[in-house]
Structure 1
């Protein structure tokens, strides 16, 4: 059986490709077995493979999940945070977007305003220059776009279910300079307390489960910024707590 695997961020750099055709001799293949076989075939990448998650058809997959030859498979490394070129993709309702173009907060806010809502809130994440004594000149974001849009939609659904609040999210990919916005979350709700809670939940869920990666760029080096493995992605997303 031959499967095609999408790779991202530092893992793609170590293996030397963003897409890998991989031959498997076994008649049956699981997500966990795939990681074992890849680690044996690419020993230099084995440490990163070990802490990565497998996504099957744009959903995070436990180790015992079966993989068919027709499945869309991706290996998701545990980093937080772009694809190059002119890219703008969104969900059909236009509320969730991945783009390499500058983000405009006012346009996003307009998508969530409601005559029955008395509070609205914008969260804007920007590139900062100094982090723990390290100077940044720019950030570079990469995303598994189809899955990222699906996860952003899940966040909006959860916000709607919990607080009857509206939510829209745009995330930048590619190079993002100092003080430029990398992510904007717009929320509206009946009251301000609900609005604050919904906004906080949205950014926390985004950090946990949306496959977006971030590379720090400074004058002397470039480094993918790591975070804890996305173990929370295997939990029911509705169980996320503040």
Structure 2
């Protein structure tokens, strides 16, 4: 079986290519079997591979999924945290007003806008630039998933997310999440839920570039599991 694997962030950098073609004897593999083979063939990525997930046809795959030759397969390292209207990826500077305007509604008495920017110092290290990369089709799909989850959890709430890709200098905006709701409690809760889920499941990575080096950063809140529930939030949908 011939597989074409999509790689991202530090994995692609270590291999030297965003695409890896692999010949295997089996005619189907589970995600864990594929990761084992990759670690054997490319020991230099064994450590980040251990914390990565396999996506099949733009969806995170569990061990009940068998990968076959016709599948689109991506190896997703821990994420950093468009398409129709409210969910967008862009390489241009983000307009706060434009994103917020997408959720304003005459029946809603509360609107909140979360703005994420590039900060200059993190744990004593001076950042000069952030570089963002995404598995774009799946990133948009999972951003829409967040919108669906919020609609189920907080009926009537509207949400818009715009995330920047490419280079984002210090002080510039990397992500804007706008929400509106009839009442403020739902607005606060859904805004927090959206940013936590974005960091958990949306395949976007950031590379921190410092004065003396750089590093790809992903999920930094304990072991990464995009299929898990958010602590204290119950299930991902109701």
Distance in 1 of aligned mates of 2:229 and 2:211: 41
* Structure 1 gap ranges (5+): 82-89
1:53, 1:76 within 8 Å by CA — same for their partners in 2?
A: yes
1:14, 1:44 within 8 Å by CA — same for their partners in 2?
A: yes
Deviations 1:147-206 (A, max 9, x none): 010111011111112222000000011110111110000101001121111101100111
**Which of 111, 122, 126 pairs up with 2:117?**
126
Aligned to 1:25, the other structure's residue is in SS state: coil
Superposed, 1:100-115 pairs within 5 Å as: 100-115=91-106
1:159, 1:165 within 8 Å by CA — same for their partners in 2?
A: yes
2:28, 2:69 within 8 Å by CA — same for their partners in 1?
A: no
Distance in 2 of aligned mates of 1:47 and 1:114: 47
Count of matched residue pairs: 231
Normalising by structure 2, report the TM-score.
0.92
Q: Which moved more, 1:155-164 or 1:117-126?
A: 155-164
* Structure 2 gap ranges (5+): none
**Which of 216, 221, 224 pairs up with 2:213?**
221
Q: CA deviation at 1:64?
A: 4.0
Q: Does 1:168 align with 2:160?
A: yes
Deviations 1:110-131 (A, max 9, x none): 1111111011110000000011
Aligned to 2:105, the other structure's residue is in SS state: coil
Hey, what does 1:149 align to over in structure 2? 140
Distance in 1 of aligned mates of 2:113 and 2:119: 18
**Which of 213, 224, 228 pairs up with 1:230?**
224
Q: Which moved more, 1:14-23 or 1:155-164?
A: 155-164
Q: CA deviation at 1:240?
A: 4.4
Distance in 2 of aligned mates of 1:26 and 1:112: 49
Normalising by structure 1, report the TM-score.
0.91
